[in-house]
Structure 1
Amino acid sequence: MGHGHKQVHGHDTGHDDGHGGSGHGSAGHGSAGHGSTHGHGHDAGHGHSSGPSFGLLAIAVAVVAYVFGWASRPSQVTAMAYAQNAGPGYFEPLPAQGPVDSPVLVVEVLDFKCGACKARHGFVKRLLAEHGRSVRFAVRHLPFVHPIESERGAIASMAANRQGRFWDYSDMLFRNQDETWTDATLTGYAQRLGLDPVRFAADLRDPSLRSYVRKDKGAADAVDIRGTPTLIVNGRVVPEDALFREDPAVFRDMVAAARRATTELIASGLAVPEARARDASRHYRSGRDFPRLFMLNDVSDLKVDLRSL
């Protein structure tokens, strides 16, 4: 049984290809093992270290991560590098569905090139079908499995989001995960869904969407999200074994607990966004950083004052 795709972070001070931090690598795309590792080596500029000893060390680290599911804590340098490379803040609507005023916000962190994400996609869709009328669901991007195509797929999904088809396009990406994702291929998927291909192709090249995706990745690094898929219910991380067993009972219990806690906070006078964020800050290990980076940029939640949490 697979255990998702894991990240390994070191110190990275350079960006070699315009597609994120340097030194990206993956150790496999399947979901039968422990997934892929994502490394940022010590890099002063362009991300290409010479010599066989470095290569063997990198392979050894990747093998350890692959076999044991190990990953180190992400460094602040990595998170800062991505944040700086991302540019200005979010200006895009969060890809989300379900009632905006729900006391429960579920966040899925994914990579469209992650084999485990594809394997669990049907389960997540069943959860959406069961809870979608009472729970807010949102997706955040953590592209790392493929050094270029993971980010490209995330950007394409956001281009589809601009035409109101994020969820359908996500299905399309997972169905065609093994294909090479060129701009032409991704635009072809959009055409098959009936999207405006000219607008879609232009959005693929829009720097603000690349900025959005990189800011998502920086946020994941900052709050120590180490792999994909990760499912979070008001700050409560769904246990990995429950996710990979596809156990809906665990998810239901977590939703019920989040609803009870947030409803009590709402009854005390907090607005829904503040109540959700305060509940999450009590459960996620990074405290207020998680709701600040993962919950309060929903378009309806921008006026939340974090000082009240």
Structure 2
Amino acid sequence: MHVLILGGTTEARRTAELLHGVPGLRVTSSLAGRVAAPRLPPGEVRVGGFGGAEGLARWLREHGVGLLIDATHPFASTISFNAAGAAATAHVPLLALRRPGWVDAEPAAGGDWHPVGSLEEAAAILPDLGRRAFLTTGRMGLAAFAGCDGVWFLMRSVDPPQGPRPARMEVLLDRGPFTLEGERELLARHRVDVLVTKDSGGAATAPKLVAAREAGVPVVVVRRPGGPEGVRVVGDPEGAVEWVARLAGVRALGARVRPQSPPGLRPGGPPDGLN
């Protein structure tokens, strides 16, 4: 059984690790290629796009893929819709692996959060919330904040940004996981008074949210885009492995599944490029 994992995320790598080396399975991980030096998962790896839903469907057929796992970033909606279309065309079972988000959990913790629907909406309300922003939405989409002349930005990403950007911006190149102590120090050292992030979920970059809550720093959070309907969704790699084991009939996978602690804002775990 050939399993194709669309990813580059922490969850995609973990799924590949759990499936790698299991007799009767061939695992290929596909990376978009947006990060210059990605952390490669075990097994076969391909880098680059497929050419839309039609190209992905053709690749599935030509390479004899029997199961497709969409473990891409929660904000990579285009590839998710392409995956759904390709799976339907090629008649390949599809699973979406989506880490739990932060928006629904944080209000109960007492954070000062301001959910918005887009980067443009985030930029529109930002000047009313602060003047020194910690921008952690990734290096793509900086153009949305180019007009915020009254705001100074600290932008953190894995690779250097390109294209239009805010006039007053300092770039911090770093790769998580990040510690709570480190995030506290960063907010204090740069006198950050507002945090901008996406509802990426996961633990690798969550300490910044805890540090912001402790410091009373408001958080502007961009909600996740909608995904394709009718696709089975699980919240962790273990759930994906159980799905593969059931459909592929591989009993050896049972011993590899480990219980997960409840999702929350916890430090630790490798990153996926958004910081």
Q: Smaller-chain TM-score range? A: under 0.3
Structure with greater helix share of residues: 1
The TM-score normalised by the length of structure 2 is: 0.27
Structure with greater strand share of residues: 2
